[in-house]
Amino acid sequence: MQLDFAPEFDPTFYREVHPDLRHFSDAELLEHYQNYGRAEGRAASPMAHRPFFLEAIRHIRPALEIGPFDNPLLEGPDVRYFDVLDTDALKRRAEKIGSNPKNVPNIDYVSKDGDLSVVTDTFHLVLSSHVIEHQPDLIRHLNQVAAILTPTGCYAVFVPDSRYCFDHFIGLSNIAEVIDAHFAKRRVHTLTSLIEHSALTTHNDAGRHWRGDHGDSAIDPNRVRAAIEEWTDAAGGYIDVHAWQFTPASFRNIIRALHALGLSRLYPLRVYETVYGSVEFCAILAPA
């Protein structure tokens, strides 16, 4: 299967969806996007939008969706599902939080630790939405995905942009931290990540963030204390928080560097920029 996705910057699309730029040449459009449009959240590719991104990958089968819970993004006979809980447990969880348990798909592969080695098939497409930032060992996750992809397959991901979600005041993750987690064989989140999640996060309203309203950055000692107590009480058990904070640029750079270092087989084939009002960006990773 030949992978063919819209470019990250499409001048024809950029011109069509932004009428104020209709008289710009292709070169002028690119310059405008690099200098102004990206920061303004102007869409430069149809695939920067979640619905168009999903439409572009719907034909790629067989597919595996990681962590669908009660809102699977892929459906059909050639789709399989992986989650940390089985179908019945997810239905109970959905009912507990007021969601419709009927929306939970039949889970084909289960691992409470998120260990993809339990997946016994290979796929042309693996998809996850707001999953990759939760992985204690990002490199292990990427390599486990690569192991279940066909040579011409791809890993499609939706990733929260830390600038426009509750992670706003937490610094961006760097390559050293990612590599350290891998060599430490990390399977649970650190106290650092738990304190960040509990005490350093802010509101999760993307629209407010885009308008420059990021909330209060003051540190509440009570929230820090509660995080320490929760981590201590867990006694080494897993507590689900974000391990990593990305922007499209930082995500691209880290995935590219991991590939160049030989630590991951996956290369960032496409990383589409976050559009105005959105909390997330999307990307296509492929074996290379």
| Extents of the domains making up the chain | 11-162+244-287, 175-234
Q: Find tokens 């089968």 and name the residue.
A: 61
If we measure between CA atoms, which residue out of 148, 175, 165, 152 comes closest to residue 284? 152
Two tokens, residue 193: 């990540």
CA distances (Å), 31 to each of 9, 21, 44, in order? 11, 12, 12
Q: What is the pLDDT of residue 2?
A: 59
**Mean pLDDT for each 10-residue chunk of the chain (288 residues)?**
85 97 97 98 98 96 97 96 97 96 97 95 98 98 98 97 98 98 97 97 98 97 97 96 98 98 98 98 96
- Report the C-alpha gap between 94 and 69 in whole angstroms: 8
**Size (the chain), residues:** 288
- Report the C-alpha gap between 137 and 189 in whole angstroms: 9
CATH superfamily of domain region 11-162+244-287: Vaccinia Virus protein VP39 (3.40.50.150)
Q: What is the pLDDT of residue 1?
A: 56
Query: Are 247 and 177 spatial neighbours (Cβ–Cβ below 8 Å)?
Result: no
Residues 6+ apart with CB under 8 A from 190: 136, 243
- Report the C-alpha gap between 268 and 162 in whole angstroms: 19
149 three-state secondary structure: strand
Sheet holding 280-287, edge to edge: 109-110, 79-83, 63-66, 123-129, 149-160, 280-287, 266-272
Q: Where are the alpha helices (DSSP H) in the chain?
A: 11-17, 26-32, 38-40, 50-57, 87-96, 138-147, 175-183, 191-199, 206-210, 221-234, 248-260
- Side-chain-facing half-sphere of 137: CA atoms under 13 Å: 21
Q: Could you tell me the pTM of the whole model?
A: 0.96
Query: Are 130 and 162 spatial neighbours (Cβ–Cβ below 8 Å)?
Result: no
Q: Name residue 4's amino acid.
A: D
